[in-house]
Structure 1
Amino acid sequence: MKDIYAGEFYNRDLSWLLFNRRVINLSTNPDTPLLERLNFLAIGSNNLDEFYNVRIPSIEDQISLGRDGIDPKSGLTPQELLTQIHVRNSKNISQQYDSLYQILSIFNEHKLFSLNPYDQLSTDEQETANHYFHQRILPFLNVVTYDNLHSRPEIKDGTLIIAVRLADTAPNAIRLIPIPPKLSRLVRLQHTELDQFVLLEDLIRHNFSEIFPDHEIEESLTFRITRDKDVDMEIDMDDENSEGTIANMERYLAARERGNTTRVEIEAHEASPQAQLFQQLVKLTHVRETGIYNIPGPLDLTFLFQFEKIYGKKHPELTYTPFAGREWTQNKPMLDYLNHQDLLLQYPYDNFDQFLTFLQEAVNDPHTVTIKQTIYRVADNSKVVELLKEAAAKGIHVSVIVELRARFDEEHNLDIVEELEDAGCFVYFGKEHMKVHSKTCLVLKNDGSHPTGYVHIGTGNYNEKTANQFVDLNLFSSNPAYVKDLSRFFNYLETDDAQPPHYETVAASPHRIEDMVIQNIKHVTERYQATGQGHVFLKTNALTDQEVIEAIYDAAKVGVPFRIIVRGACCLKLGVCGDKEDITVTSIIGELLEHNRIYAFFSDEEPSLWISSADLMTRNMDNRVELAAPILDATIRQQLLNIIEVYSQDDVDGSFLNLDGRYFKHDVPNGKSAQQTFIREITDEHSPVNAPVPRETISSSTSPKSLSAQLKYARILNMALALLVLALLLLLIFK
C-alpha cells in the first residue's frame, strides 16, 4: 500500500477523516458530560453522511471518467484514495461503536435508561412493545417489491430500510420496508422499573409475522444508502424576474435525489457479505466495494440526539452548563454608539440579539434609505428576514443577495426568496459561477446634512439558532472606509456583468483574499529576516489551498514562527521546511463549534489583523464571493489581540498535529481552554459588553515560537520518562 505520508502535503479527505475522529474522541473524554458524549457520536455520524454526499462523488467521478490522474497533494490515484478512505473510516466507525456501547452501559449501570435488543426484553416488555407496534407503527408501513416484474424501487438518501427475502417466493425477489423518517427511532416502553428503549427497526424485525402473515422469512437485513448530492446548479443571470433561476433550482433538487449511490451501510449482525440478500442489495444499489460498510450496531446514530431532549432538563449535570451571551447594555442606541467607535462581538459569548438590535434600529430610523444584506443560511422563522420585510414595508430600499446554492438549505432559501419578494424586497442571486458566501450588511442613512453608513462584517451566518453554538466574530462600524467598500461590493453583486471592483480597505474573493494572506506572509518574512521579529497567527476551518501552504513553507524555511488553528482538514505537513521550521498546528474541538476565521500578521511594525468569511481553501479563494476585513479601530484591535492570545494557549480542547500527520493530546496540559476562558468571562455579571479578555484568565503573552518550544520540551520529557521506565525494567530483569 502506498505511503500516504510521503510528499509535502496531506490529502484533504484523509485529513478530514482525522477531524471526524477527533469529534468521535470527545465521546470518550471523561470530562465530556454523558449526554453530550452521545451527541458527539451523533455529530460524527451526521458529518460522515455529508462527506459521502459531497466529497466522495467527485473522487468516484474521476474513476468513472477514466481520469486516473495523481492527486498533486498526496500522490494517490482516485482508486487508491477511496481504498485509504475506507480503511481510515472503518477505524473511525469501530471506535465510534465501541464508545457507544461503553456509554450505554454507564447509563444502564446508573439506572437512568437502557437501550436493549428486543431479544433481551422480558416477556411483559415484549408484549408492551408489540402492542406499540400494532397501534403506532404497523399502520404507517409500506412494502415495496423488487423483482423481474417490478421496476427498480426508488431508495431515498439516508432512509432506513429493512430488506426481506421470503422463502416461498422467487429467489431474486426482495421486499423492502422503508422506515418512515417521521417515526421516532426510540420506542419507549412504559410501566418498567428502568426507562427501557428498543429501536424501531428491531421491533419491526420481530413482528415480521404481522407484515408477512403467510410467509416464512428466509433472510433479512437493515440498510441505508448515501447518494451523490454534489450536483452542479447554475444561476440564470439572463432572467430578470428570477423565474428561470427558481425553475433551475427545482430541477436541481429533483436531480439530486436521484444521484448515484456512494455508500451502503448494513447492520453487520444480520448478514454476511456472502449471503444472497447482501449480494442482491449490492447489485441493486450499484455501489463500489469501497462504499460498503458492515456496521457493528444500529445505523445512523443521529437518533442519539433524542436522549438529550428526553433527559437534559431533568439531569442538567449530564449536559454542558448553559450560558447566556452578553446583551446590549450601553445607555445609548447602537447606531449612536457606532457613530463614535467600532464594535467587535463574538457569538455566542455575545448574544446574536445584538445584531437584531442593530438591524431593528436601522429599520426604525426614519432617515434610513437603504439596507443591503447577504443571506447564506438563516433560521426557520428568521427574525432577520422579518426585519428586512418590515423595512421594505416602511419604504426603505431593501436589497438582499440570497445564495440559493447553500448546500442542503436550497429549499429553505427558495421559500425565503418568495417571502422577501412578496414583501417588496429586491432579491438577487449573486454570481453565475460562484457562491456568495460573504456575511455582510450595509445600512445607508440620509438625515439631510450628509449621508451616513453602517456596516456589519461577520465570519458566520445570519442565523439566530446556530449563533448559539458556532463561535463567530462580528465587526460593526460606521467608518467611511468600510462603508465605501461595502457599497462597491453590493453594487458588484447586484450587477450581472460587473467586474470585481478595487477596494481601498477590505479584500474580497475571488483571488484577493488569497493575495492578501500571501502578501502579508511575505511581508512578515521580509521584516523577520531584517529584524528577527515576526510571527503569523492563522485560524480557519480548513487549510487546503496549495498556494497559501507554499507561502507558509517559504516563510518557515527562514524561521518565521506560525501558530495555526485548523478545526477540520489540514493539508499542511510538518517537518518539510528544514531545521528552522517553527510551526504549531492545532485543531480545537470542544463544547462549541469553532467557526471564526482570524488572519493576523506580526512584525516589528503594527500588526495586520483581519477577520473573514473565507477559509483557506481553493474553493473559497478562487470560486466563491467572500469578504475579509482589516480591524482598524485601536480599541477592538486590542480586543482581537487578546482573543488571539487566548486561542494561542489552548491545550485542553486543542489536538496538536504531529510529524507523522496524526494528532495528539497533551498527557498533562496546562489547563488552558479558550472556550472555557470566554465562558468564564461572561458568567461574571459585571463584565461589560465590549470588554477585553481579563488578563488574569491567561498567562503572559505566548508567541507561536515559545509554544512550539513547550511542545518540543513536552516530547523530550515524555521520551525521557519512557527511557527511565525501560531502564528500571531492565534492572529488574537482570537483577
Structure 2
Amino acid sequence: MDPKYDGKCFNRDLSWLLFNRRVIELANQATTPFLNKLMFLAIAANNLDEFYNVRVPSLQTQLAVSDDGIEKKSGMHYSEILKKLHKRNEKNFELQYGYYQQLNLQLLENQYCNLTGYSKLSSRQQDKANQFFDERVLPFLSFTTYNGHYGLQFLKNKRMALGVSVKKNGKHKIRIVPIPTDLKRLVKIESEPYPTYITIEDLIRHNLSNFFGDCKVEDVITFRILRDLDASLDVEKDDNNKDTINNLRQYLSDREKGKVTQFAVEKNENLNPEFLHSFMKKFDLKKHTFYEVDGPLDLTFLFAIVKKLSKKYPDLVYKKFAPEQWSNINTMLPYLDHHDLLLQYPYDSFNQFLTFLQAAINDPETVAIKQTIYRVADHSKVIELLKQAAQKGIKVTVMIELRARFDEANNLKVTTELEDAGCNIIFGKKYMKVHSKTCLVLTEDGANPHGYVQIGTGNYNESTAQQFVDLSLFSSSDSYVKDLASFFNYLEQPIATPPKYEVLTASPHRIEDMVIQDIHHVKDYYQKTGKGHVFLKVNSLTDVDVIAAIYDAATVGVPFRLIVRGACCLKLGICGPKENIVISSIVGELLEHSRIYAFYDDNTTFWISSADLMTRNMDNRVELAAPILQPKLKQQIQDIISIYDNDDVDGFFMNDEGYYFKYENPKGKSAQQTFIKEIGKYAPVIQEPSFFERLSNRIKTIFK
C-alpha cells in the first residue's frame, strides 16, 4: 500500500463485527418475517463462533509475535484492536439478546410456543421435567473434579458445561458437568395448548442435587467455550495420497485442543461473582475471553424452533419462489454450441448445473470432465454424477481442496468415494488453497481442446445454492476452453509456472493486477472525458493495494459504487472534495455471495470471479476471474448491476465513521425482491432438436 495511506483503513475484524451486527439488526426490521427474525439471531450466533475460532486467534498471534506492534492498515496497536473488538462484540450481544427477549415474548403472546425456564414452570410441569431428567438425562451425565492439575482440555470447541461448587464433609470442590451432546438441546414439557420448552442445561442445573447425592450444591455457572481452530495445514499432490490424508486426519484431531478464545456465561440472578472469579482464575481463563449474556447460550438452537414452526405457520417465513429450470436435458449442450449462458442462483435453479453435467455424461463425444471441489453438500448429487461419469469410462479429474475450513472431514469422505469410483484426485498447490469454481467438459483433448466450460462464483453445493446468490457462466467458446485446459494442467502438476491465459485471469497476483490496472485505466479515461466509473460487488474488501488504487482514482473524482457484504476496510471522506464513493452492504433473505467487477471506460469490461478483494484471495489462493464476452450477456449483467445499484431496501449504507445505516424513507427498491419478480426474464429460447438430430444422437450413442 502507498505509505501515504497508512492508517487510513478500517481494521478488518472490527469491520466484520459490524457486518454481524447488520445480521442481528434484521431481527428488528419490520420487513423481516417473524420466524426469520429468529433465524437471523441464530445465523449471527453461528457466524460469531467461526470468528472466535479463526479470526480472534489470528489477532492474538499478531499481538504476540509483533510485541503489540501497529497494524499499518488501521494505525492501531493490536492490543487496542482486541480491546475494541471485545467492546463492540459486547454491544452485539446486548442487541442480539435484547431482540431475543422481545421475540421470545411474542412467541408466547401469539401462542406459537413457549421457550421458558425451569423456575417459571408450574409445580406439575416441574414434576414432569424432573421425571424426564431421571429417566432420559441422568444416565448420560458425568462429571470431573478439579484437583489443580488440569484445565478444561477435555471440553472440545463449542462444548457447554456446568461449573459447580459443591461442599462435602466441610470441604469445597469444583466439578465440571459437560452437557451431553447426544441429547436434544430443547426439552418439550408440554404440547398443548402450545409447545413448551426448556433447555437441557437449565433442566440439569435444577437437578444437580439429585445427581451429586450427599454433596451440597452451593454455586453453579452455565458456560460455553470456543477454541482456537486456526491451525494451518499444507498439503500437496502425493503419488498415493496416503500421507496427505493421514496428515489431515491428525490435524483434525489436534485442532480441537486449541486455547480458549471465548468463555461465555449465562446470566443468572443467583450467580455468585466470587465463584465466577475463582473459577476463571483456577482454569486460567482470561478476562478478554469473558462474556456474560442475558439468555440461553448458543442461540443456534433457534434453527430447530424455526424449522418446527415454519411447517405449521408458513406465512411467518419468507415466501418461497420457484426458480427457473432447464426444461429438456437434450437441449442444453446444443444451446451452448451457439450461445453463452449466464445463470444467477437461486433465482435460476442450481439443478441447471446438474443438467449440464448429466448432459455431458450422456454425450458420446465427451472424453474428459475436470472439476474443482471446495465445499459440497452431504449426499452430493454433483459427486454422484462425477462417479457416474468415471464408471462410464469418461476420464474424470477432480481437484479437491482438503483445506476448506470446517469441511475437511466431508472432503475426505468425498475423496474416498471418488477414488473408489475411478476418478483421478488431485489436491492442488502447496501453501495455496484452490478456491476456483470451475468445471471443464472436453469433447477433444490435447493441443487443440474443444468442449464446454462452467465458471462460477459459488460452490457446487445444491443445499447452499438455494440460499446463496451466485453467478454461473456456461460456454463452448474455444478461448474459455483452451484457458481452462491450461488451468487444469497447471493444477495437475505439483510444481508449475502459472500459464498465460487468452481471456481468463487467475490468482495468485494476476486478478489483483487486473483490478488495479483497470481502475487506473478508468481514472485516465475519466480525467480525459469526465466519464467512467467502477462497480465492485464482493463479500469483503480488505486488500490494501486495491484500496490504495480506489483512493487514488477517487481523489480525482472517479465515481465508485461498492457493494461489500462483509468486512470493508475502505474509509470514506479521506479522498478530498471530489470523492464520490457509495458503499452498501446487502444483507437480506438470501446471502449475497457473487463477485462482480465492472470497469466503465472506452472499453467497458465485466468480470465474474471466485475471488473477494482480500489479500489472501489475491496473493495466497488459486482463484479465477472470467470476462463476460457475448453482447447479450453483457446486457444481462449490466441489468443485474443496475438492480444492485438502485437497491435502497436490502442495503445498509456506510457513513464516514464506518458505521452503517438504513434509509428512513426508501423508494422501495429491493434488489432481491426485484430478481424474484424477474425470474425467467433471461430464460433462453430453446429449439427442440429435430427428429433427424435426435436420431443422429441416438446412433452416436449406440456406436460409442
Q: How far does the alpha carbon of each residue in 1:102-128 deviate from its partner, in whole angstroms, 9 at most, with x for none? A: 011111111221111111111111112
Q: Report what 2:133 is aligned to.
A: 133
Q: Which amino acid aligns with 1:188?
A: K
Superposition deviation, residue 452 in structure 1: 2.6
Q: Secondary structure at the match of 1:166?
A: strand
CA contact (8 A) 1:146 1:152 kept: no
Structure 2: how far apart are the matches of 1:170 and 1:518?
A: 72
Change (3 A) 1:423 1:191: closer
Q: Report what 2:123 is aligned to.
A: 123
CA contact (8 A) 2:429 2:491 kept: yes
Q: Report what 2:667 is aligned to.
A: 670
Q: Report what 1:342 is aligned to.
A: 340
Q: Which amino acid aligns with 1:275?
A: E
Superposition deviation, residue 299 in structure 1: 0.4
Unaligned 5+ segments in structure 1 are 692-735
Q: Report what 1:476 is aligned to.
A: 474
Q: Which amino acid aligns with 1:184?
A: K
Q: How far does the alpha carbon of each residue in 1:72-108 deviate from its partner, in whole angstroms, 9 at most, with x for none? A: 1111212111100000000000010000000111111
Matches within 5 A, 1:460-475: 460-475=458-473
Structure 2: how far apart are the matches of 1:671 and 1:270?
A: 45
Q: Does 1:608 align with 2:602?
A: no
Worse-matched range after superposition: 130-139 or 219-228: 130-139
Q: Secondary structure at the match of 1:312?
A: helix
Q: Report what 1:714 is aligned to.
A: none
Q: Report what 1:111 is aligned to.
A: 111
Change (3 A) 1:518 1:144: same
CA contact (8 A) 2:23 2:587 kept: yes
Q: Which amino acid aligns with 2:683?
A: V
Q: Secondary structure at the match of 2:431?
A: coil
Matches within 5 A, 1:612-627: 612-627=609-624
Q: Report what 2:36 is aligned to.
A: 36
Superposition deviation, residue 336 in structure 1: 0.7
Q: Report what 1:679 is aligned to.
A: 676
Superposition deviation, residue 150 in structure 1: 7.0
Change (3 A) 1:548 1:128: same
Q: Report what 1:312 is aligned to.
A: 310
CA contact (8 A) 1:344 1:690 kept: no
Change (3 A) 1:580 1:192: same
Q: Report what 1:256 is aligned to.
A: 255
Q: Does 1:649 align with 2:632?
A: no
Structure 2: how far apart are the matches of 1:9 and 1:151?
A: 39
Q: Report what 1:292 is aligned to.
A: 290
Superposition deviation, residue 178 in structure 1: 1.1
Superposition deviation, residue 241 in structure 1: 0.6
Change (3 A) 1:170 1:56: farther
Q: Report what 2:353 is aligned to.
A: 355
Superposition deviation, residue 200 in structure 1: 1.1
Structure 1: how far apart are the matches of 2:642 and 2:309?
A: 37
Q: Report what 1:719 is aligned to.
A: none
Give the TM-score of the pair, scaled to structure 1: 0.90
Structure 1: how far apart are the matches of 2:674 and 2:100?
A: 30
Q: Which amino acid aligns with 2:594?
A: N
Q: How far does the alpha carbon of each residue in 1:32-59 deviate from its partner, in whole angstroms, 9 at most, with x for none? A: 1111000100111111100000001111
Structure 1: how far apart are the matches of 2:641 and 2:424?
A: 39
Q: Report what 1:717 is aligned to.
A: none
Structure 1: how far apart are the matches of 2:526 and 2:30?
A: 43
CA contact (8 A) 1:367 1:447 kept: no
Change (3 A) 1:178 1:169: farther
Worse-matched range after superposition: 272-281 or 555-564: 272-281
Superposition deviation, residue 64 in structure 1: 3.3
Structure 1: how far apart are the matches of 2:277 and 2:343?
A: 54
Q: Secondary structure at the match of 2:168?
A: coil
Structure 1: how far apart are the matches of 2:475 and 2:406?
A: 32
Change (3 A) 1:93 1:74: same
Aligned length in residues: 680
Structure 2: how far apart are the matches of 1:304 and 1:487?
A: 46
Q: How far does the alpha carbon of each residue in 1:367-422 deviate from its partner, in whole angstroms, 9 at most, with x for none? A: 21110000000000101111111111111111000000000000110111111111
The one of 529, 534, 537 equivalent to 1:536 is 534
The one of 603, 621, 631 equivalent to 1:634 is 631
Q: How far does the alpha carbon of each residue in 1:516-538 deviate from its partner, in whole angstroms, 9 at most, with x for none? A: 10111011111111111101000
Matches within 5 A, 1:12-91: 12-65=12-65, 67-91=67-91
Q: Does 1:279 align with 2:278?
A: yes
Matches within 5 A, 1:91-110: 91-110=91-110
Q: Which amino acid aligns with 1:591?
A: E
CA contact (8 A) 2:329 2:355 kept: no
Q: Report what 1:715 is aligned to.
A: none
Superposition deviation, residue 175 in structure 1: 1.3
Q: Which amino acid aligns with 1:689?
A: A
Superposition deviation, residue 351 in structure 1: 0.4
Structure 2: how far apart are the matches of 1:547 and 1:148?
A: 50
Q: Does 1:163 align with 2:163?
A: yes
The one of 683, 689, 692 equivalent to 1:689 is 683
The one of 343, 366, 369 equivalent to 2:367 is 369
Q: Does 1:408 align with 2:402?
A: no
Q: How far does the alpha carbon of each residue in 1:410-450 deviate from its partner, in whole angstroms, 9 at most, with x for none? A: 011011111111111000000000000000000001499x8
CA contact (8 A) 1:188 1:195 kept: yes
Change (3 A) 1:582 1:187: same
CA contact (8 A) 2:168 2:214 kept: no
Structure 2: how far apart are the matches of 1:651 and 1:169?
A: 67
Structure 1: how far apart are the matches of 2:199 and 2:152?
A: 28
Q: Report what 1:523 is aligned to.
A: 521
Q: Report what 1:224 is aligned to.
A: 224
Structure 1: how far apart are the matches of 2:609 and 2:645?
A: 18
Superposition deviation, residue 307 in structure 1: 1.1
Q: How far does the alpha carbon of each residue in 1:463-497 deviate from its partner, in whole angstroms, 9 at most, with x for none? A: 00000000000000000010011011000000011
Q: Report what 1:325 is aligned to.
A: 323
Q: Which amino acid aligns with 1:515?
A: D
Q: Which amino acid aligns with 1:256?
A: R
CA contact (8 A) 1:144 1:153 kept: no
Q: Secondary structure at the match of 2:668?
A: coil
Q: Secondary structure at the match of 1:198?
A: strand
CA contact (8 A) 1:221 1:271 kept: no
Q: Which amino acid aligns with 2:293?
A: I
Structure 2: how far apart are the matches of 1:502 and 1:7?
A: 36
Q: Report what 2:584 is aligned to.
A: 586
Q: Report what 1:705 is aligned to.
A: none
Unaligned 5+ segments in structure 2 are 686-704
CA contact (8 A) 1:271 1:278 kept: no
Change (3 A) 1:575 1:366: same
CA contact (8 A) 1:220 1:270 kept: no
Q: Report what 1:694 is aligned to.
A: none
Change (3 A) 1:75 1:219: same
Q: Which amino acid aligns with 2:144?
A: V
Cα root mean square deviation, aligned: 1.9
CA contact (8 A) 2:400 2:426 kept: yes
Q: Secondary structure at the match of 1:578?
A: coil
Q: Which amino acid aligns with 2:268?
A: H
Q: Secondary structure at the match of 2:114?
A: strand
